[in-house]
Amino acid sequence: GLGAGIARAAVREGARVVVTGRRPEPGEKLVAEFAEQGVAALFVQADVSDVAQAQAAVARAVAEFGRVDCLVNSAGLTSRGTLVDTTPELFDAHIAVNLRGPFFTMQAVVKDMLRRGAPGTVVNVISIAELGGQPYLAPYVAAKAGLAGVTRNAAHAHRWDRIRINGVNIGWT
């Protein structure tokens, strides 16, 4: 939903897009929609919780289009857990999807921008929950708060490289 909406907005503004996701059917359907409009687009099946897959998706985008000008990290896991009942497996799943995947995807894109000496943009979809959140979203809050911190850190680190890195604290979508 959210990623598809972002991709559609980018296409409306003239962008070529690479869409990633775990399930091929929705991604391929979206890319077919773009193809009908005459827009160059690519679907890469990737699970952002797997760092190698996330980095390979960036490499595929660069191979296909020659560069990445903008990355939007919009994947998110919102399964429920409180401080008291969250298992280590649930916690790790949230960290993998909501923090580790975006971190290493952002790393791969920024490395490409630095290699080319080119400006670029990264947008991380965070959440207002990173400021506290509902009690039943404890692992989600932990991961999104981490993503907010790394977003600020990367923005500061790469400001002079002309790489703009921002996070958006959206509410429920």
Q: Among residues 20, 41, 140, 142, which one is catalytic?
A: 140
Closest alpha carbon to 52 in 40, 41, 42, 44: 44
Distance CA 90, CA 75 (A): 16
Catalytic residue at 136? Answer: no
Distance CA 139, CA 120 (A): 31
Closest alpha carbon to 70 in 147, 164, 171: 164
| Long-range pairs, 25-34, Cβ under 8 A, ≥24 | 30/4, 34/7
Q: CB of 114 within 8 A of CB of 125?
A: no
Distance CA 48, CA 9 (A): 22
Amino acid code (one letter) for 99: L
Q: Which residues are identified as catalytic? A: 140
